[in-house]
């Protein structure tokens, strides 16, 4: 991308989209186009067509979509499936029709089969059944990754890039009870317990599953790196992760220290754990020269600072449309 290239960041108010906006700005990219959900409904084909016809972006980062944790995935599977499939289909077709130079699509670590060897390699895709709690969302994401290859093959142009970040977190994350992922959910619950003066808090599951977390700024950096090194990419999806994993119990202890919560943390093992382990093998992408920069505790501190500031302003989002 050139510094004056026209870039559309879809989902710019969400977790990844806001990180992309900040990163692109810091690197001198000044011709950036955004639209809020109220201004442009990406599930509406006519609206997407009209936007692309008018704006003609050269590069697109598709950070818009519907995402959430275990509760949301189990409660609204059809909503997750329909929303993400609709957005993907509309934006892919528009990118092709208006000859976008590159579009970056984001998958999810839940696309990989449950119970497969760790760390998970790209070639495990569709080798077995996925975790039941996120099946509808995972299938939608698998469809998007498949679409990247299908469009590239049929058009003979390497227009679509598929990245698969592991569990992302950071400023502008979703901290709602129904829709949050584990890291943001634990931040909210421990902060609430601290503010209410409670001496104990109960968290879902056993606390034993292992998770890898990726700070949103690192995912944004990987996205820009991918576009600017597209000539070195194969027509496949690429895992991007931090390379570091910890148990949910260890995560909660770290968040408690950052948040200053000194009460007891208990675990409700009757609640679902989800996958026992989710670690990506990112060597295919890191071998190209990219590496994450943010340690987990550093990223948690930045996320908690943002959460605290926005909580005091009453400005926290409760539902997120963004990866």
Q: Could you list the active site residues?
A: 137
Q: Beta strand 210-215 with 245-247: parallel, antiparallel or unpaired?
A: antiparallel
**DSSP character for 34?**
-
Are the beta carbons of 108 and 65 closer than 8 angstroms?
Answer: no
Q: If we measure between CA atoms, which residue out of 312, 198, 215 comes closest to residue 256?
A: 198
CA angle 7, 63, 213 (to 5 degrees): 125
Sign of CA dihedral 16, 22, 27, 32: positive
Which burial class, exposed, middle or buried, applies to 322 when counting CB atoms under 10 A from its CB (0-12, 13-18, 19+)? buried
Rounded Cα distance, 29 and 301, in Å: 28
| Cβ partners under 8 Å of residue 55, min gap 6 | 6, 8, 33
Residue 280 carries which DSSP code?
B
User: What does the alpha-carbon distance between residue 61 and residue 16 come to, in Å, rounded to a whole number?
Assistant: 10
**Beta partners for residue 165, in sequence order:** 240
């Amino acid at each position: 991308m050139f510094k004056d290239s026209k870039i559309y960041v879809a989902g710019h108010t969400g977790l990844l989209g806001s990180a992309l906006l900040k990163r692109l700005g810091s690197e001198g990219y000044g011709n950036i186009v955004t639209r809020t959900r109220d201004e442009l409904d990406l599930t509406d084909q006519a609206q997407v067509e009209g936007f692309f016809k008018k704006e003609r972006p050269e590069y697109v980062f598709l950070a818009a979509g519907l995402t959430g944790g275990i509760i949301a995935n189990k409660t609204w599977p059809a909503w997750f499936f329909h929303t993400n499939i609709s957005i993907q289909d509309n934006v892919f077709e528009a990118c092709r029709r208006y000859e976008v130079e590159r579009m970056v699509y984001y998958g999810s670590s839940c696309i990989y089969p449950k119970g497969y060897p760790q760390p998970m390699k790209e070639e495990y895709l569709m080798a077995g059944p996925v975790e039941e709690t996120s099946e509808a969302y995972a299938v939608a994401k698998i469809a998007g990754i498949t679409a990247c290859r299908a469009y590239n093959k049929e058009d003979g142009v390497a227009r679509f890039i598929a990245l698969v970040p592991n569990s992302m977190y950071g400023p502008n994350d979703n901290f709602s009870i129904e829709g949050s992922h584990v890291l943001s959910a634990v931040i909210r619950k421990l902060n609430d317990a601290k503010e209410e003066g409670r001496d104990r808090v109960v968290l879902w599951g056993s606390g034993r599953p292992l998770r890898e977390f990726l700070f949103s700024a690192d995912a944004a950096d990987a996205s820009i790196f991918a576009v600017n090194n597209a000539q070195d990419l194969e027509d496949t999806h690429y895992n991007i992760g931090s390379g570091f994993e910890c148990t949910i119990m260890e995560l909660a202890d770290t968040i408690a220290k950052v948040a200053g919560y000194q009460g007891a943390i208990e675990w409700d093992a009757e609640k679902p754990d989800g996958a026992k382990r989710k670690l990506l093998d990112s060597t295919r992408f890191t071998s190209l020269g990219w590496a994450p920069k943010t340690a987990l505790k550093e990223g948690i501190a930045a996320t908690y600072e943002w959460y605290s500031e926005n909580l005091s302003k009453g400005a926290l989002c409760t539902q997120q449309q963004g990866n």
